[in-house]
């Protein structure tokens, strides 16, 4: 069995690994560290949870132990698709450079330029960045990439999803031709293949078993659900979500709830909160400090429900998640695997629940064929439509109301989704403004404000065009619906 001490890593790195409590390298580490230390390019096909971060940070620290950083010319560069992943990589560097004297800077949106500029001015050994923010610094003339000896691209397939590939190509072009490249991706889409063929030179290819086979410790189920009326789908789906959560009882310690769209992440979190559930959203439009605060709260157990988008949650190392709930069936089957892989980690038991509306059935079939499993159908915990109708007639939709102490409701709550969402706002600080808006006919700008909730800060590091499109399309569809 290979030991870390067999891998030619720097002694100080070995000591830090020991402190981290790792006893043996994971397969990706065993495969990637030796060629990386020999200065070869590496193509790692691995996803998060396999120990891939250490598979590039450990050899980098060893290789960078010699030499010194020059002003504005980082010696190495790690590109990550999201701020959280970049921050996570930075944390890894901190842990493994405990006994080494290497400097690093983190260039991510939401953190002030000034502080980062100062660090870069002095010279850093390792620069960890999201592509957009890196190019911003470069364009402001604050940074030269001609001193980069090692460049890492982490989660390349996610970069592709987020539309970062042109940025990555540009950044490759700004670094020296002689650099060493360590490139990681969970999958090899044709576009990723093209990039690796263009920018990697005779790489050592290491592929570790995909966690794509959904772990045996995860109990999966799906509730098939059809709304009573299309325009009530959002409301009824959220009601179903609450019933599903309640059905889990004490077995549910905490949960990540995935929605396909950022607007739904917000709506879902707000709705849950309104009904007394301890929930908060995380997605790319929230400012960095808020995202970190939410994530830390979820990690330390002070937040029970994390409503998330794929991009925000992908790759995050959050141990001890008892439940993953797919509020929407993901559009890409692989995202299902990534999502539910947040639970059942390290041999623990986990539960993955999902809601499937009729138009998502195709996606459900695609997931089932990817994971080679028929996901068991769970019963809808809510009364059947006929019973429900009778009940609703009796109680005037009382079942959809939260506990009275959580704010007054008005007649308009029974209206289609956008109105319901607007009504869910009174729990927000700026409720007054939004209530005023909700009196309008709901077209154009006023309605847009209602639907998107409190003003978001920034648009992530770089907002790919397709996100803007789906955002707008959906809002106008709702405004018209």
CB of 107 to ligand AMP, least distance (A): 20
Q: Is 277 left (phi over 0), alpha (psi -120 to 50) or beta?
A: beta
Given the complex with ligand AMP, which of 22 and 99 has the nearer CB atom?
A: 22
Can residue 138 be called a binding residue for ligand AMP (CB under 6 A)? no
* Residue 105 vs 316, nearer CB to ligand AMP: 316
- Cβ-based nearer residue to ligand AMP, 25 or 131: 25
Smallest separation, CB 89 to ligand AMP (Å)? 8
Compare residues 26 and 470 and give the one whose CB is closer to ligand AMP. 26
Q: Is 26 exposed, middle or buried (0-12, 13-18, 19+ CB in 10 A)?
A: middle
**Interface with ligand AMP, residue 22, by CB under 6 A:** yes
Q: Count the site residues for ligand AMP by CB under 6 A.
A: 12
Please tell me whether residue 133 binds ligand AMP under the rule CB under 6 A: no
Binding mask 275-314 for ligand AMP (x = CB under 6 A): ----------------------------------------
By the rule CB under 6 A, 31 interacts with ligand AMP:
no
Answer yes or no whether residue 317 interacts with ligand AMP by CB under 6 A.
yes
Report CA dihedral (69, 156, 162, 314) to the nearest 10 degrees.
-100
Residue among 159, 123, 121 at smallest CA distance from 142: 121
Please list the residues that pair with 166 across neighbouring strands: none
**Residue in 451, 453, 459 with CA at minimum distance from that of residue 476:** 451
Helices vs. strands in the chain: H and E counts, helices first: 20, 13
CB of 96 to ligand AMP, least distance (A): 10
Q: What is the rounded CA–CA span in Å between residue 469 and residue 450?
A: 19
User: What ranges make up the beta strands (E) of 286-416?
Assistant: 305-308, 323-326, 350-356
b/e burial code for range 262-301 (CB count within 10 A of at least 16 → b): bbbbbbbbbbbbbbebebbbbbbbbebeebbebbeebbee
d(CA 188, CA 149): 25
Query: 233 burial class (0-12, 13-18, 19+ CB within 10 angstroms)?
Result: middle
9 or 171: whose CB is closer to ligand AMP?
Answer: 9
Query: Using the rule CB under 6 A, is 25 a contact of ligand AMP?
Result: yes
The minimum distance between CB 400 and ligand AMP, in angstroms, equals 40
Rounded CA-CA distance 461/459 in Å is 6
**Residue 185 contacts ligand AMP per CB under 6 A:** no
Interaction of residue 428 with ligand AMP, rule CB under 6 A: no
Nearest-CA neighbor of 304 among 340, 349, 256? 256
**Coil, helix or strand for 45?**
strand
345 binds ligand AMP per the rule CB under 6 A: no
One residue of 35, 51, 109, 350 binding ligand AMP per CB under 6 A:
51
Q: Which residues, listed in sequence order, are joined to residue 79 by a DSSP beta bridge?
A: 129, 153
Minimum CB distance to ligand AMP smaller for 319 or for 376: 319
Q: Figure out which of the listed residues 43, 45, 48, 350 binds ligand AMP, where binding follows CB under 6 A.
A: 48
Give whole-number Cα distances, 35 to 23, 28, 43, 180, 431, in Å.
Answer: 21, 12, 10, 11, 58
| Residue 26 touches ligand AMP, criterion: CB under 6 A | yes
Q: What's the residue count for the chain?
A: 481
- Cα 171 to Cα 156: distance, rounded to the nearest angstrom: 14
Nearer to ligand AMP, 52 or 283 (CB): 52
Q: Is 116 in the site for ligand AMP (CB under 6 A)?
A: no
Q: Which stretch binds ligand AMP (CB under 6 A): 50-58, 193-201, 222-230, 256-264?
A: 50-58
In the window 82-111, what residues touch ligand AMP (CB under 6 A)?
none
**Shortest separation between residue 245's beta carbon and ligand AMP, angstroms:** 27
Kindly state whether residue 225 participates in binding ligand AMP, applying the rule CB under 6 A.
no
Sheet with 76-79: strands ordered across: 104-107, 126-129, 76-79, 150-153, 180-185, 42-45, 204-207
50 touching ligand AMP, by CB under 6 A: yes
In the bound complex, what is the minimum distance in angstroms from residue 99's beta carbon to ligand AMP? 17
Which of these segments, 49-57, 72-80, 259-267, 410-418, binds ligand AMP (CB under 6 A)? 49-57
**49 near ligand AMP, rule: CB under 6 A:** yes
Beta carbons within 10 angstroms of residue 220's beta carbon: 23
Closer residue to ligand AMP in complex, CB, 117/317: 317
Stretch that binds ligand AMP, among 18-26, 188-196, 360-368, 411-419 (CB under 6 A): 18-26
Binding site for ligand AMP (CB under 6 A): 22, 25-26, 29, 48-54, 317
């Amino acid at each position: 069995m290979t030991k870390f001490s067999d891998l030619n890593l720097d002694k100080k790195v070995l000591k830090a690994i020991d402190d981290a409590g790792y006893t043996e390298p994971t397969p990706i580490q065993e495969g990637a560290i030796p060629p990386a230390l020999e200065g070869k390019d590496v193509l790692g096909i691995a996803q998060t949870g396999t120990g891939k971060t250490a598979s590039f940070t450990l050899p980098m620290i060893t290789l960078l132990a010699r030499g010194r950083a020059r002003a504005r010319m980082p010696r190495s560069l790690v590109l990550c698709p999201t701020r959280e992943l970049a921050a996570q990589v930075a944390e890894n560097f901190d842990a493994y450079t405990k006994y080494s004297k290497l400097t690093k800077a983190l260039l991510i949106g939401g953190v002030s330029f000034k502080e980062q500029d100062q660090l870069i001015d002095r010279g850093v050994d390792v620069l960890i960045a999201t592509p957009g923010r890196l190019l911003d610094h470069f364009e402001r003339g604050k940074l030269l990439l001609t001193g980069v000896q090692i460049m890492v691209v982490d989660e390349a397939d996610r970069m592709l999803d987020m539309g970062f590939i042109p940025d990555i190509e540009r950044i490759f072009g700004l670094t020296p031709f002689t650099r060493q490249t360590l490139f990681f991706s969970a999958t090899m889409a044709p576009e990723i293949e093209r990039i690796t063929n263009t920018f990697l030179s005779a790489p050592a290819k290491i592929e570790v078993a995909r966690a794509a086979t959904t772990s045996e410790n995860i109990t999966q189920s799906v509730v098939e659900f059809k709304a009573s009326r299309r325009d009530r789908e959002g409301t009824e789906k959220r009601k179903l979500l609450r019933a599903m959560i309640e059905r889990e009882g004490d077995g549910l310690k905490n949960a990540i709830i995935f929605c396909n769209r950022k607007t739904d992440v917000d709506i879902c979190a707000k709705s849950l909160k309104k009904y007394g559930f301890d929930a908060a959203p995380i997605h790319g439009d929230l400012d960095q400090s808020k995202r970190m605060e939410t994530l830390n709260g979820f990690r330390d157990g002070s937040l029970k429900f994390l409503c998330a988008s794929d991009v925000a949650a992908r790759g995050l190392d959050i141990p001890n998640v008892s439940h993953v709930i797919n509020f929407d069936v993901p559009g890409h089957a692989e995202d299902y695997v990534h999502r539910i892989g947040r639970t059942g980690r390290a041999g623990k038991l986990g539960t993955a629940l999902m809601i499937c509306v009729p138009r998502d059935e195709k996606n459900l079939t695609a997931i089932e064929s990817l994971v080679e499993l028929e996901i068991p159908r769970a019963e809808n915990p809510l009364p059947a439509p006929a019973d429900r109708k009778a009940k609703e007639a009796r109680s005037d939709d009382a079942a959809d109301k939260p506990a009275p102490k959580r704010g007054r409701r008005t007649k308009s709550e029974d209206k289609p989704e956008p109105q319901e969402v607007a009504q869910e706002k009174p729990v927000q600080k700026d409720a007054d403004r939004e209530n005023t808006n909700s009196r309008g006919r709901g077209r154009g700008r006023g309605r847009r404000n209602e639907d998107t909730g409190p003003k978001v800060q920034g648009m992530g590091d770089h907002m790919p065009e397709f996100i803007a499109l789906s955002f707008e399309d959906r809002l106008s569809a709702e405004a018209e619906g």
